[in-house]
Structure 1
């Protein structure tokens, strides 16, 4: 069923999901197939992950043919553009890199704090990431990770280069540079001037995360900066494939995640980052559906280690 988009003030020059829908592919075991064997889910023709029918959004050439089958009964769409190639060049952000902070706390206990209080504490550190290239503008999310002005996002958000702008929570627009990106991890680090950087967020420990823990996802879905959605940790160690063939485990959540959330933080009830929002599962063949309550995030430990490698 098509979506009625007449109520949305969408701009034709803004792309809320760059590139073709891809990964994560479920590796083992795949869900049981519920569609006829002669009509398996296949990679869709070139389209945007959020291609609403009333708008003729600009399209991006895709790599690979449309006949490549997806092994699972559901396909998951990256929430912004295709992954940037390789590891990009390194650009320093001014002050010496001092490492990323990580909490020593254990599992979150009941009554730790209201999610509204958590959102109020962390929102200032969450940013919108705009990438303008070849006449189109893509929007993703990110968050500040240290006091030197480094911002973590997904590699696929900054695919293709172009001018990168970070929009802070107070609506200040700051020019940013790509410090480095890793296509296998689907992580990228940006640099903004340290004197203009908000306070950094603290990474939690994946070992302290439990199924059922309350979480909130923050970011700019469809360009709506400052959006906060809530849910729980639905599963741990979900076997998925992210980025350009990078296989690993992801954290699954039912917090609403949509195109534009890519690179934003998934935080626990203490305000610690436990994951980087990266992908959603969708039942639509075109990969253009929104959240169905199955979202995936790169675990905090892997994101923190990857970010430190890119900065150093």
Structure 2
């Protein structure tokens, strides 16, 4: 407002361009980059989201998405239904790794440098809230290293975001404006009645990557 007042108050100043209200182009590109590697996960009576971790068919999701047991199916952005096997779980960090055949060719999402994550930077939560696959919501990083309980009773640090996260987003990626994964969406704070109130949490990618790598190496 101050800038607009200054510009329009000068006789020799050019007219200010109208605000377009458009979503920044980098977020559009980030969403396009991430969506092909994000999947819906169905495990018994549970459901959530996940993303391709590497080019060998490994998919990262939340432990609580698959904890109920039963056959696991992942559904790609192109609608393909793929049978997945459970590689391993880490309940204390709420991380699980699945595997589909490498021939599925799910594009692995790039992982962010955790040292570059900053409070206030724009982010996108990608997943299947309420079964609506390929849903993207935008927000910012509200806090880093927020102590919360994820899975077990011990407190773990998490990335906090105000991007809308709802049931079904669990296990999906939280990405930055470059399309890089900065966290694994895992929990939300709610008031009576449930639903997103703009306080969501993601497992930081440094810890998620280490846990996933350990689970894969252990087979």
TM-score normalized by structure 2? 0.86
Quote the RMSD (CA, aligned, Å): 1.1
Give runs of aligned pairs for residues 105-144 of structure 1, distance below 5 A. Answer: 113-132=25-44, 137-144=45-52
Q: Is the 8 Å Cα contact of residues 43 and 68 (structure 2) preserved in structure 1?
A: no
Which residue number in structure 1 is paired with residue 140 of structure 2?
A: 232
The structural deviation recorded for 1:163 is 0.5
Equivalent residue for 2:89? Answer: 181
Runs of 4+ in 1 over 3 A off after TM superposition: none
Question: Matched residue of 2:69: which SS?
Answer: coil
Query: How far 1:161 moved relative to its partner?
Result: 1.2
**Structure 1: runs of 5+ lacking an equivalent:** 1-111
Deviation at 1:138? Answer: 2.2
Question: Separation in 1 of the partners of 2:86 and 2:176?
Answer: 28
In the alignment, is the contact (CA less than 8 A) between 1:154 and 1:262 conserved in 2?
A: yes
Q: Which residue does 2:178 correspond to in 1?
A: 270
What does residue 304 of structure 1 align with? 209
Are 2:200 and 1:295 equivalent residues in the alignment?
yes
Structure number with larger C-alpha Rg: 2
User: SS of 1:114's equivalent?
Assistant: helix
Give the conservation status (yes or no) of the 8 Å contact 1:204–1:300.
yes
Q: 1:113·1:270 contact (CA, 8 Å) conserved in 2? A: no
Equivalent residue number for residue 196 of structure 1: 104
After the TM superposition, which residues 145-156 of structure 1 pair with which residues of structure 2 at under 5 Å, given as runs? Answer: 145-156=53-64
Aligned to 1:5: none
Q: Which has the higher helix share?
A: 2
Structure 2 regions of 5+ residues with no counterpart?
A: 1-23
How many corresponding residue pairs? 194
Q: Per-residue deviation at 1:124? A: 0.3
Contact residue 129 and residue 142 of structure 1 kept, 8 A: yes
The CA deviation at 1:121 is 1.2
Given that residues 229 and 256 in structure 1 are in contact (C-alpha distance below 8 angstroms), is that contact kept between their aligned partners in structure 2?
yes
TM-score computed with the length of structure 1 as normaliser:
0.61
Per-residue CA distance 1:240-282 (angstroms, 9 max, x = gap): 1111223210000000000000000000011000000000001
CA distance in 1, matches of 2:173, 2:97: 14
Deviation at 1:113, TM superposition (A): 5.0
CA contact (8 A) 1:219 1:228 kept: yes
- Deviation of the 1:149 alpha carbon: 0.1
What are the residue-to-residue correspondences of 1:96-111 with 2, within 5 Å?
none
